[in-house]
Amino acid sequence: MLKWTRRNMLAAIALAIPLGFGGMAATDATAESVLRVIPHADLKNLDPIWTTAYISRNHGYLIYDTLFAMDENLAPQPQMVESWTTSDDGLVWTFKLREGLNWHDGTPVTAADCVASLERWGKRDGMGQQLFAVMDSLTATDDDTIVMKLNAPYGLVLESIGKISSNVPFMMPARVAATDAFEQIDDYTGSGPFVFQKDLWVPGSKVVYTKNEAYVPRSEPVSAASGGKIAKVDKVIWTYFPDQTTAVNALMAGEIDYFESPSNDLAPIMEANPDIVVEVNDPLGNIGFARFNHLLPPFDNVEVRRAAIMAMKQEDYMAGAVGDPKFWSTCYSVYPCGTPLANEVGSDVIKTGDIEIAKAALAASGYDGTPVVIMQPTDVPILSAFSLISAEKLRAIGMEVDVQAMDWSTLTSRRALRDPVADGGWNIFHTWWIGADLIDPMAIGFSGNPDKGWFGWAEDAALEEARSAFAMATTLEEKQAFGRTVQERLWAIGASGQLGQFFTPVAYRKNVTGLIKSPVQFFWNLSVD
């Protein structure tokens, strides 16, 4: 046996040496420029209309193009559109596509394609549904002209089709857009600056995009999603890392160029490394929520909700879940601080952040000791922390708390249940939205309509009025006015607890340049040298 093993080892070594050098030679040979990225999540599916997952949205931005796109001031700018006109009554919109737009398969992009794409999007996206609700017709009058007829003036036409985050109205070939909106597409032809390599895709691990040589970028300088999208690398490779530590190590060891969402706590280590830049790329950051279930006691009682909110001291949540103060700030506006609609109307309730006051308020509310079920998603550290902190605070103000641990996917399915706690219902779950999704009252999170609204099913007629009024509003003043009313109502009914605004940094090696400041991660304009 020993003899045998010895022989084997020798064999192994003998093999290793020549082959090894051969292998090295081979690796040196490759000269194309590659951007090796750790995405914030595993790209599980490829249809950015079918799912709202941010990772699918980012995938969409790589391979698809949009009619309009937001610039860094969140103002919609033309992207695929050359020019557009609006009738004086604001009911008829005409869009003209620019020259040289081609699908990855070489066929030209037609207006018909875009119409089909918008329609599919309109079936899934909240803002899309609103837009189509006021729409009479959407037609392609010729190969590069789209005509949209509304039945009432609508203030968010461009904001909708230039939407920066999920679901982004990406343009797909008509044949693809024909797919049922609730079914996944399986043809990934786009017209964007990069091409998706399906046969190199290893779900759960690796996605490969190659430069779309045929893409004609706009001439304007790049600004968030708008401007000229220039692919500056031959290849973008996403490698998903389930484990933060390993990811950071890989970045520091130079096995990776770009790390999309490192945990804030790991920033110091990476900053200590001279080859690595850590910076906050998303000016709007994310807003943390504690969402109440408005249908079930005790949170069917507005006073109880408000009492709970009073206990939620943002500093504690942020310090506990995010850590380093340079990555978070308190924000008492329902619209991310630093966005046009941001204001502080009615936000005293959240400003309170004091256990004693909250205790008193709860006592006054007539809370009967009904236990509160908090769903804790153990596989999402920040939300896990939020849950634990809420649990402690609610206990502190004298509530019965039952923290139920589960993974995020269980939570997502369970939060859809309207049933009482006994039948699997819930009282509170935590989540965060990226700021860009909350810049105006149209966000579904702000809905006051329990039937069409978001989980938690807040109900408030006045709120709904203000929201639709906002949609119709056309001037900034009006918009801000309605925006304030919406916020005022949201705080009045204590729709959700707001836990602060936090910023997740990106980390990349010094040789990466051309990062675009934006709430969404884009991969054009980035180069490696």
Partner 1 sequence: MANVDQDDLMADAILSRKENPGVVSLMLNNRAIFWGSSLLFVFVMVAILAPLFTADPVSINPINRLKPPSAATLFGTDFLGRDIFARTLYGARISLVVGIAVAIIAISIGLVLGLVAGYVRVLDAVIMRTMDGLMSIPAILLAIALISLSGATLGTVIVAIVIPEVPRVVRLVRAVVLTVREEPYVEAAIAAGTKLPLILSRHILPNTIAPLIVQATYVCASAMLTESILGFLGAGIPPEIPSWGNIMSEGRTYFQISPWIIFFPGIALALTVLAVNIVGDGLRDTLDPRIARKM
Partner 2 sequence: MFFYIIKRILATIPVMVIVALFVFLMLRLSPGDPAAVIAGDYATTEDVERIREQLGLNEPIPVQMYKWIAQLARGDLGTAIFSKLPVTTLIGQRLEPTLLLALCTIIFTVLVAVPLGTIAAYKAGSWIDRFVMLFSVAGFSVPIFVLGYMLIYVLSMQLKILPVQGYKSPFEYGLWEFLRHMILPVITLSVIYIALIARMTRATVQEVLQEDYVRTARAKGQSEFKVLMFHALRNAAVPIVTVIGLGIALMIGGVVVTESVYNIPGLGRLVLDAVLARDYPVIQGLILFFSFIYILINLLIDLSYTLLDPRIRY
Residues 323-362 that bind partner 1 (CB under 8 A): 323
Q: Scanning residues 488 to 517, which ones bind partner 1 (CB under 8 A)?
A: none
Residue with the two structure tokens 């607890």 = 497
Residues 454-483 close enough to bind partner 2 by CB under 8 A = 454-455
Q: How far is the CB of 314 from partner 1 (least distance, A)?
A: 11
Q: Residues 6 or more apart from 281 whose CB is under 8 A from it?
A: 505, 506, 515, 516, 517, 518, 521
CB contact at 8 A, 214 and 106: yes
Number of chain residues interacting with partner 2 (CB under 8 A): 72
The stretch among 103-111, 131-139, 240-248, 495-503 that binds partner 1 (CB under 8 A) is 240-248
Strand partners, 209: 196, 236
Stretch that binds partner 1, among 70-78, 155-163, 209-217, 318-326 (CB under 8 A): 318-326
Using N-to-C axis directions, what is the helix angle for 302-311 and 355-365, rounded to 10°? Answer: 170
Q: Does residue number 133 form part of the binding site for partner 1 (CB under 8 A)? A: no
Kindly compute the dihedral angle of the four CA atoms of residues 333, 338, 341, 345, in this order, to the nearest 10 degrees. 30
Torsion of CA 138, 120, 433, 76, to 10 degrees: -30
Q: 46 vs 375, which CB is nearer to partner 1?
A: 375
Confirm or reject binding of residue 529 to partner 2 (CB under 8 A).
Answer: no
How far is residue 455 from each of residues 13, 97, 416, 448, measured CA to CA in Å? Answer: 61, 38, 6, 11
Window of 20-28, 110-118, 307-315, 362-370 that interacts with partner 2 by CB under 8 A: 20-28
**Using the rule CB under 8 A, is 379 a contact of partner 2?**
yes
DSSP 8-class letter at 168? P
| Contact pattern for partner 2 over residues 244 through 283, marking x by CB under 8 A | -xxx-xx--x-x----------------------------
Selected from 145, 197, 410, 527, the binder of partner 2 by CB under 8 A is 410
Q: Does 69 bind partner 1 (CB under 8 A)?
A: no
Please say whether the dihedral angle defined by the alpha carbons of residues 202, 206, 207 and 208, taken in this order, is positive or negative: negative
Does 3 help bind partner 2 (rule: CB under 8 A)?
Answer: yes
Q: Which helix (H) or strand (E) segment is 142 a member of?
A: strand 135-142
351 near partner 2, judged by CB under 8 A: no
Please give the helix or strand (H or E) that residue 329 lies within, else none.
strand 328-329
In angstroms, what is the minimal distance from the CB of 260 to partner 1? 16
Contact pick of 53, 133, 269, 357 for partner 1 (by CB under 8 A): 269
DSSP characters over 10-72 = HHHHHHHHHHHHHHHHHHHH--S-EEEEE-SS----S-TTT---HHHHHHHHHH--BSEEE-T
Asked if residue 407 binds partner 2 (CB under 8 A), the reply is: yes
CB of 436 to partner 2, least distance (A): 13
Stretch that binds partner 2, among 79-87, 208-216, 360-368, 431-439 (CB under 8 A): 431-439
β-sheet bridge partners, residue 117? none
Question: Which of 199, 477 has the CB closer to partner 2?
Answer: 199
Instruction: Check residue 520 for interaction with partner 1 (CB under 8 A).
Output: no
